[in-house]
A = this chain, B = another copy of it.
Amino acid sequence: MFNAATAQARPAGRPDDAENQRSSQRIADMLRLLGETLQPARRLVRAGDVIYRAGERFQNLYVLNSGFCKIVNLSADGREQVVGLKFRGDWLGFDGIASTQYGCDAIAMDTSDVWVIGYDALLQACLGRPALMTVLHEAMSREISRDRDSLMSVCTLPADARVADFLRYWADSLAKRGLRCDQITLRMTRAEIGNYLGMTLETVSRALSRLARDKVIGFAEKGRRDVHIPDVGALSAFVQRCLAPAALAVH
């Protein structure tokens, strides 16, 4: 189930189409179930719009029906940290359940369709519809797994590998949603990527340049926002190369 593991287990590191299709189906089923049983209010947001803010009273969970957003944690002393990225089918706001207020800001990074799920209504509905509870728990479970993968990446990978792993994660997220992942548009600045990965914007830029020089990624002719990924497996291979500096000529 782990991204790296999945890529590794495959013969040639190519995406597991069957698995991705199942993911895509699961998300569609979940959205259909939520739509039918709860008729959630929809909120259309644009890049930069705030979905909720840290400190606001927790009442709703949110589900992204389309678009893309970031979760930003702000510490008491002013440090700001992007702690999560959310795509279609992801839930937002779980951190508010225990403390009765949100602990982070959720900011749209693109035009998005956000479904508003009243938490009390959801719990109520869960009682009559066990499938609802299942999707809720699975979503929380997945978030916990993903957060651990993030921590793992930040703690164990050097900067270049972290950037490569970030792109792999992004491509993987798109593939799991049935979207093409050979051409991705990063709707984040280098500074935001760096913040998310725990490094400076210059280091992100250098890492991307190195990835491009090694032909692991390509840039569109105009602008460096669009990244071309000919082979997702090559990103995983690049990560491995970063980790094994003294193990080259073996044949």
Contact = CB atoms under 8 A, between A and B. Distances in A.
A79 interface: yes
Q: Is the interface of A mostly helix, strand, loop or mixed?
A: helix
B101 A138 contact: no
A154 interface: yes
Given A4-B75, A97-B137, A103 B145 contact: yes
B147 A5 contact: no
Contacts of A240: 77
Nearest to A196: B155
Interface stretch (A32-40, A106-114, A125-133, A173-181): A125-133
Q: In the complex, which range does the number of interface residues on chain A fall in?
A: 35 or more
A151 B140 contact: no
Given A84-B148, A127-B130, A144-B147, 13 more contacts: A1-B101, A4-B76, A9-B76, A73-B152, A79-B243, A81-B151, A94-B144, A97-B138, A97-B140, A140-B140, A151-B154, A154-B154, A156-B198
